[in-house]
Amino acid sequence: MKIAIAQIRSMPGDIPGNIVAHKKLIDRIISYGADTLIFPELSLTGYEPTLAHALAMDLHDGRLDDFQALSNYHRLTLGVGVPLKTPLGITISLVIFQLGQPRQVYTKRYLHPDEEAFFVSGQGTLSTLGSKGTLALAICYELSVPAHAEAASKNGAEIYLASVAKTARGIPKAEERLSSIAKDYGMTVLMANCVGPCEGEEGGGKSGVWNSKGALLAQMNERDEGVLLFDLDTQQCQCIGV
């Protein structure tokens, strides 16, 4: 199993431009045999909570159709960050595209207090990926909630993948927490972060992979777009630039 995490520069509110940027990274990873590619939190709009109401999308928005086509054609599972409309309000979600399957959603359950004015917590249609549910998903603040990682471990997850939007200030704390999750639960841990504009600051990048003992295996830098590929069988990582 080969899992890829994207480090992308999403421009605030520019959904068409961000779709093009997503496709560029998808094209970049195809020849490397990845099974799964996950993007950062709210990657399709940029992490801009004040714009979420205007930018929120329906699950079956036609602008997402190309991702399903790419998933089908390349047999690649994709996770794209979207502010999603629901009957209860707007959620922070990963829309999941899988070969020949209806779109599914992983939704952020644990919101940061600063997000509660703009989003609602919710339940998506899935919490894990893989035929045996070996990959547990998390979105940003959730990695700071002990109950979240604990539940993933109890459910048999071997991999914990956090899709985040962290500025440079938030990176050290996130790195420490992710390493602890790996050590405490014996899971391989990945973090997909953004670069570029992020709620008035700059995304801190440094997307990375930690092994099940908490050791950092590989990490991207703080400024460049690209993809970090992790081979679960060999425990090898590869950084792929754009």
pLDDT of residue 122: 87
pLDDT on residue 75: 96
Q: What does the pLDDT read at residue 126?
A: 72
Please report, for residues 53, 63, 68, 89, the alpha-carbon distance to residue 85 in angstroms, rounded to integers and kept in the order given.
9, 14, 19, 6
| Cα first-last separation, the chain | 22
Q: Which residues of the chain have pLDDT under 50?
A: none
pLDDT of residue 131: 62
What's the pTM? 0.96
Q: Domains plus CATH for the chain? A: 2-241 (3.60.110.10)
Q: How far apart are CA 220 and CA 123, in angstroms?
A: 31
What pLDDT shows up at residue 132?
Answer: 61
